[in-house]
């Protein structure tokens, strides 16, 4: 047991400290998502008190100009955007001979979409009252697909930056930019009346699970490849 723990918390081992921390992070995210989903199911999909408070605060800020801005922001989390953007990023990684990253990035985006869709069907949470919505949606509400995909895509881009450079400035900029975009997309979904706040939070958790899986798997495979070349 001591040897097992030593290897798992070693920085030098392929499946060492980084992979172990990533696994624990992924497990924590999955547990948080499961607890939130259980709470929504127990309440039969009804909004939580925090949902009502956040929605009322955001909707109170509606104006024609802000609505135009929010429609533009929410488009960044639309499936049509990712149908174009995901192949571009994967192709660019492949062209730079980062084949593992290209395949895993594409897989994480597709996986995020699949998991989000399955959770929607499983929870079958109704959308907020349609009379107050500024967009028309036909699928279920939990989790927010736009927020999930924005988290997977832009979080994945930030993870790529972390893999290609150890410089703190690009890393901080990438993480901050990704977080800002995800929060903006999540806010736009509540503003437009398409989701409750807990839907968008669940979308972030769903997306982060895939970001952690993508990042950990990429780093582990790259380390294994580097060790193989060094032999």
* Whether pLDDT at 13 is above 70: no
Closest CA to 152 of 127, 100, 115: 115
Band (pLDDT 50/70/90 cuts) for residue 5 is: very low
Q: Where are the domains of the chain?
A: 72-126+138-231
Give the residue ranges of DSSP H helices in the chain: 2-8, 17-42, 49-59, 64-74, 79-95, 99-123, 145-164, 168-191, 197-230
Band (pLDDT 50/70/90 cuts) for residue 231 is: low
Q: Tell me what the mean pLDDT of segment 184-211 comes to.
A: 94
pLDDT at 213: 86
Render pLDDT for 21-77 as a digit per residue (tens, 0 to 9): 778 888 899 999 999 999 998 888 888 889 999 998 998 889 999 999 999 999 999
44 backbone dihedrals φ, ψ, rounded to 5°? 55, 35
Band (pLDDT 50/70/90 cuts) for residue 121 is: very high
* Whether pLDDT at 95 is above 60: yes
The model carries a pTM of 0.87
Q: How far apart are CA 159 and CA 25, in angstroms?
A: 15
Q: How far apart are CA 167 and CA 161, in angstroms?
A: 10
Mean pLDDT (the chain, rounded): 86
Q: How far apart are CA 221 and CA 178, in angstroms?
A: 24
Q: 195 with 189: CB under 8 angstroms? A: yes
* Whether pLDDT at 166 is above 90: no
Closest CA to 22 of 220, 221, 213: 213
């Amino acid at each position: 047991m001591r040897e097992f723990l030593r290897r798992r918390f070693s920085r030098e081992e392929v499946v060492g400290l980084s992979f172990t921390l990533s696994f624990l992070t992924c497990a924590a995210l999955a547990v948080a998502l499961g607890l939130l989903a259980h709470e929504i199911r127990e309440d039969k999909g009804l909004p939580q008190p925090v949902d009502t408070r956040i929605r009322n605060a955001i909707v109170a800020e509606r104006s024609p100009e802000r609505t135009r801005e929010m429609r533009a922001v929410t488009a960044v989390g639309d499936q049509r955007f990712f149908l174009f953007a995901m192949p571009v990023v994967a192709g660019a990684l492949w062209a730079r001979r980062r084949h593992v990253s290209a395949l895993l990035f594409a897989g994480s985006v597709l996986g995020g979409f699949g998991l989000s869709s399955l959770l929607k069907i499983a929870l079958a949470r109704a959308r907020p009252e349609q009379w107050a919505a500024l967009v028309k949606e036909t699928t279920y509400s939990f989790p927010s697909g736009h927020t999930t995909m924005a988290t997977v895509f832009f979080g994945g881009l930030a993870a790529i930056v972390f893999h290609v450079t150890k410089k703190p400035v690009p890393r901080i900029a990438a993480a901050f930019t990704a977080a800002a975009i995800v929060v903006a997309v999540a806010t736009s979904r509540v503003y437009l009346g398409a989701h409750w706040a807990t839907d968008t939070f669940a979308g972030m958790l769903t997306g982060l699970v895939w970001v952690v899986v993508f990042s950990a798997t990429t780093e582990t495979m790259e380390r294994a490849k580097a060790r193989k070349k060094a032999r």
